[in-house]
Amino acid sequence: MKRYGMLIDGQWVPARSGETREIRDPADGALLAKVPEAGRVDAEAAVDAARAAFDAGPWRKLTAQDRGKLLFRVGEGIRAHAKRLAELETRNCGKPLAEAAFDVADAADCFEFYGGLATKIHGETMQVPANSLSYVVREPVGVCGQIIPWNYPLLMAAWKLSPALAAGNTAVLKPSELTPLTALELGRIICEAGIPAGVVNIVTGPGAGPGEALAASPQVDKVAFTGGTVTGRKVMTAASGNLKKISLELGGKNPNIVFADADLECAVDGALFGAFANQGEVCSAGSRLLVERSIHARLVEGMLKKIPRIKLGHGLEPGVKMGPLVSAAHRDKVESYIEIGVNEGAKLLCGGKRPKGRAFAKGHFLEPAIFDRVKPSMRIAREEIFGPVLAVIPFDSEDEAVSIANDTEYGLAAAVWTKDVTRAVRVISRLRAGITWVNTYHPTFNELPWGGYKASGMGRELGLYGIEEYLETKQVNINLDENPIGWY
C-alpha cells in the first residue's frame, strides 16, 4: 500500500483536512493506496498556484520550442514507466492489461503530438481599410481547470494536459476520486521532465468540493470537463459565474448500424468489441446495435457463439478480456438496468449476472449482457448504462435505421457496416454524431477531433481542433499614419 500526496505548486502535499481516501482494486478489493481527500480549500490553493505560475512564473517566458521539448520529455517518461503504469491502471480501474498498455502508449503519443504542435501555433496578418499593420495572435487562455472520469484515467489526463501545456496554459487537474493513481504518477513524470512548479497541479478528491470549486472559481479561465451529462450541466452552470471558457465531453448512447450486405464475421467482431471493450465503460461504446432484419438472427447467433471468449477475471491475468466494473455502486447501477430491460419486455439473451466462483467473490464483476427485441422507446435503448450491456434493435430500411440512430439526446459516436461505399457515405452524412466509423468500431487517433453533437458535449479534444480550445485570439492594430487623427 502506497501513500500519495497531491501535487500543488511543485510540492506533494496532504489535504488540509488531513483526510485520505482508500483506493482499492475493483477486481479483488485489495488496498492499493491512500490518497489525499481534497476539499474546496485544497482546490483553491492549487488554483492560486496555477494562477501565479501563469501570471508571474517562468513558464510564460519559455519559447514554444522549449514547451514542445518538455512535452516530448513527458512522453518519454511515460514510455519509460509504461509497464508499471499499465499495471497500475489495470489495478485501479479494472481494465485488462492489454487495454491499459494501449492507453499508456496512446497517452505518450498524445504528449508527443502536442509537443510537435507547440511550435505550429500561429496567427495571421490581415489587410484592413486603414493604414494599419493588423495581425492576429493566438495566446494561452490562462488557468485551466480540468476534470476527468474514471474509465481512461491516464489517457484522459493526457488528452487534457498536453494541449493545455502546448498552448502555454497552466492547469489544475482533478482525476476521478475512484482512479487517481496514474494521474499522480503522471504528475511525478511531469515534475521530472522539468515543467516548472505550479504549471501542473493535481488535486485528488470528489466532485462535491474540489470539482465544484474548480468549475466555479473566478481565478480559473477555462474548464475542460469529461464525465456524465448530468454533471456536465452542473459544471456549465458553475462556470457561468465568471463566464469562463468551457469544453464538455459527455455521455453517449451510440448506434452501431449493421446492414445486410456487411461482412458478417467482421460485423460480429465489431459489435462485440464496440459494446464490451473496457467493460462497456466507454462514452463512445456501441451500446445500441441496429441490425437489418434479414440478418438479425445470424448476427445474434454469431455474437452468442463468441461471447464465451470474453474471459472475465483480474485484468492482470493472461487471456482476460473483461475486468470488473469500477465500483460496487456502479455495478449496482448497471444491474438495475438489467432488471429494467427485463421488466420492459426486452429478451435477455445472455449475461447480466455476477459470475460465480472464488476468483470473482471480492470483485465487481458482471457477465456481458445482450438484450434482443429492444424497442427504441425502452429505457435500455435511451439511457447511458456505461457497462457491458448491448441492446439489439432490428430495422427494415435505411431510413428507419437513420431515424432510430438519431432518436437520442446524445450524439457522440456512430458506426455503419456495409460493403456499399455509397450507402456508407450517405448514411454517415445523415448521422448526428461527432465520431463516426465505417466497417470498424472504436479506433481513436490523436490527430482527429474527438467530441459530440447535442447533449454529448461541446468543443473538441485532440488534433488541431483540440488546441483551439486552449487558445485565445487577439487582434493587434499598429497605426502607420504619422498624422494626428484630427477628429476634434
Cα separation, 278 vs 273, in Å, equals 9
Known catalytic residue at 249: yes
User: Which residue shows C-alpha cell 456549465?
Assistant: 236
State yes or no: residue 190 binds ligand NAD (CB under 6 A). no
User: Which residue shows C-alpha cell 457561468?
Assistant: 240
Q: How far is the CB of 315 from ligand NAD (least distance, A)?
A: 18
CA angle 169/161/31 to nearest 5° reads 135
State yes or no: residue 206 binds ligand NAD (CB under 6 A). yes
Q: Taking the C-alpha atoms of 163, 165, 170 and 172 in order, what is their torsion angle to the nearest 10 degrees?
A: 60
State CA 6 to chain mean position distance: 21
Residue 438 burial (CB count, 10 A): 15
210, 188 Cβ separation under 8 angstroms:
no
Known catalytic residue at 144: no
- The residue whose Cβ lies closest to ligand NAD is 207
Q: How far is the CB of 408 from ligand NAD (least distance, A)?
A: 13
State yes or no: residue 412 binds ligand NAD (CB under 6 A). yes
Residue 181 has which C-alpha cell? Answer: 493513481
Candidates 129-137, 211-219, 371-379, 424-432 — which segment interacts with ligand NAD by CB under 6 A? 211-219
Cα separation, 414 vs 425, in Å, equals 13
Q: How far is the CB of 163 from ligand NAD (least distance, A)?
A: 14
State yes or no: residue 254 binds ligand NAD (CB under 6 A). no
Cβ closest to ligand NAD, residue 169 vs residue 456: 456
Candidates 94-102, 149-157, 357-365, 436-444 — which segment interacts with ligand NAD by CB under 6 A? 149-157
State yes or no: residue 388 binds ligand NAD (CB under 6 A). no
**CA distances (Å), 250 to each of 93, 228, 453, 460, in order?**
19, 5, 10, 11
The helix-helix angle for 82-93 and 97-117 (nearest 10°) equals: 120
- 89, 185, 249, 367: which one is catalytic? 249
Selected binder of ligand NAD within 5, 10, 196, 228 (CB under 6 A): 228
Binding mask 269-308 for ligand NAD (x = CB under 6 A): --------------x-------------------------
Give the chain's radius of gyration (CA, Å). Answer: 24
Selected binder of ligand NAD within 96, 115, 149, 302 (CB under 6 A): 149
Closest CA to 160 of 222, 98, 234: 222
Selected binder of ligand NAD within 169, 226, 287, 418 (CB under 6 A): 226
State yes or no: residue 370 binds ligand NAD (CB under 6 A). no
State yes or no: residue 212 binds ligand NAD (CB under 6 A). yes
Residues 45-74 that bind ligand NAD (CB under 6 A): none
- Backbone phi, psi, residue 309, to 5°: -75, -10
Q: Which helix (H) or strand (E) holds 116?
A: helix 97-117
Name 170's Cβ contacts closer than 8 Å, sequence gap at least 6. Answer: 50, 51, 53, 54, 57, 59, 142, 143, 144, 164, 198, 199, 200, 201
- 144, 283, 335, 461: which one is catalytic? 283
Q: Active-site positions?
A: 249, 283
Residues binding ligand NAD (CB under 6 A): 147-151, 174, 176-177, 206-207, 211-212, 215, 226-228, 231, 234-235, 249-252, 283, 384, 386, 412, 452, 457
